[in-house]
Amino acid sequence: MIAVDHVAELSPQVGQELGVSEWVRLDEQTIAAFGTLTGDTHWVHMDGDRAKAETPFGGTIAHGFLILALVTGLSKECYAVRCANRWMNYGLDKVRFTAVVVAGARLRLRLKLLELEPQKAGTRLRFGCTLELEGSERPAAVCEWICIAYEEDAA
């Protein structure tokens, strides 16, 4: 994990891995809660018996957007900017879901800083995100995550 006071201090880390999070397990209850919250209640995510009988996965699988939703929280285990008082998600690029995540599987985030660009207000950061799937050669998902960090004005 990299921890700095100011966003600009991350400049030497561009092109480098910032850190790797701890593993997080996605159980059936978490997957079902996400489906209920978002309205994505397709049986492959919600009905373990049917998913076991009708798919090659052996049970329910996680939503792709659930996997992406983990990025923000897991990134806190990879880096910190102490003087950033506000962050805003700006978007995602190059999102790919490259492996199925079955209920009970564990994921972790591998985070790389791809770009750091000062803006008129704040600093835009682009991260390379790999959501690794335990026991799999393929990650669950990969994407580029863009956010803007804001620091208190030094007055």
| Full residue range of the structural domain in which residue 14 is found | 2-26+62-151
* Helix 28-38 with 64-75: angle, nearest 10 deg: 100
Q: What is the pLDDT of residues 2-45, one digit of tens each?
A: 999 999 999 999 999 999 999 999 999 999 999 999 999 999 99
Mean pLDDT score, 126-141? 98
Q: Residue 49 domain-assigned?
A: no
Q: How confident is the model at residue 155 (pLDDT cuts 50, 70, 90)?
A: very low
Q: Strand 2-4 to strand 79-81: parallel, antiparallel, or no bridges (unpaired)?
A: parallel
How many domains, the chain?
Answer: 1
Number of Cβ atoms within 10 Å of the Cβ of 36: 12
Q: What is the pLDDT of residues 64-85, one digit of tens each?
A: 999 999 999 999 999 999 999 9
CATH of the domain at 124: 3.10.129.10
- Residues 6 or more apart whose Cβ sits within 8 Å of residue 74: 21, 24, 108, 109, 111
Report the chain's terminal Cα–Cα distance, integer Å: 30
Q: Residue 50 domain-assigned?
A: no
Q: Residue 111 domain-assigned?
A: yes
